[in-house]
Amino acid sequence: MRYSWSVTMLALLWSSAAIAQEPAPQIRQFDIPTLEKLGQDMYAQDQAAWHATDALFALHPQAELMAEKVQGWIVEDRPDGALVRFIRKTDSGPEAGYDVSMAGVKPTVSVPQDRTLSDSEKAQYAARSLALQSITQRCGDNYNTIVLKDPSGPGWLAWALAATTNPGLVMAGGHHRLTVSADGNQTLQMDALSRSCAVLQKSGEPAGRQVAALMATQLVSNVPVETFVFLSLEHHMPFFVLTPDRVLWKIANGRIENMGAVPLNKAP
């Protein structure tokens, strides 16, 4: 996709002076390769869950699943393709309700013969539930969850991601990341990955014209957080992100690139 550098110059119209005066809050930091890998893995898990949900709903109506108390899913990475386990709640605790294998050309839905969850599966599901319960400032009614192994510890990273059903909008803000204990039951750190419920539009003026790239200001870290990598992959377009140190970053194809410092705007 080609786009004009005039797109990036829009950053100069923002209040970079105000950004420079905003100290970045202390969120958990990762290096750029780790942020890229997290965003890529988040996208892969989200895609697997999306296609698995469609396959399950094609065979089992939502009313049936609700009656069975199917509530959420976990995703296991396997050598032949992801396995999405849909979890149902019982009086004795969560158990596997349906399995959807992504190993073939099309998702395959099955009922597990053994519904017992492993300790790791229970922990992942608990971390997912913890993420949903921990949102204090919601940006809308819809939230998706993703859970991955912590890249530098024994526990998990869990995300509560603000979502929308409008295909023309991108939820750039409202996302939360939790560092969770190995058993999935304790939040060790919770990071708000934005300071606002920023919503971006994928269409511009004149009406119907598609935007070639999206712009955002990030105040929580001097390096773009992993959700921008995820969003860039999900919406198939680059992001340009301006951080508190007035550096402009490009996020595209799962990669984060430093584009250099933006001059400080001065009032006339």
Task: Measure the CA angle with vertex 140, ends 49 and 221; round to 5°.
Answer: 80
DSSP secondary structure of 2-46:
---THHHHGGGGS-HHHHHHSPPP------HHHHHHHHHHHHHHH
Supply the mean pLDDT for the chain: 87
| pLDDT tens track for 194-211 | 988 999 988 755 555 667
Region for residue 72 given its phi and psi (left: phi exceeds 0; alpha: psi -120 to 50; beta: otherwise)? left
Give the domain ranges of the chain: 6-57+68-261
Interval 16-31: pLDDT, tens: 444 545 555 579 999 9
Q: Please name the residues in contact with 62: beta carbons below 8 A apart, sequence gap of 6 or more.
A: none
Q: How far apart are CA 7 and CA 76, in angstroms?
A: 39
Rounded Cα distance between 129 and 210, Å, is 36
Per-residue pLDDT of the chain (268 residues; tens, 9 = 90+): 444 444 444 444 444 444 545 555 579 999 999 999 999 999 999 999 999 999 999 999 999 999 999 999 999 988 888 999 999 999 999 999 999 999 888 999 999 999 999 999 999 999 999 999 988 778 887 899 999 999 998 999 999 999 998 888 999 999 999 999 999 999 999 999 998 899 998 875 555 566 788 999 999 999 999 999 999 999 999 999 999 999 999 999 999 999 999 887 654 4
Whole-number Å distance between alpha carbons of 212 and 186: 41
pLDDT of residue 120: 95
Tokens representing 136 are 């204090």
Nearest to 10 by CA among 229, 213, 207, 266: 213
- Residue 191: what pLDDT? 95
Choose among 88, 96, 93, 94: nearest CA to 68.
88
The reported pLDDT for the residue numbered 180 is 97
Q: How big is the CA angle at 14 (ends 262 and 159), to the nearest 5 degrees?
A: 90
Each residue's pLDDT tens digit, 247-256: 999 999 999 9
Per-residue pLDDT, 138: 85
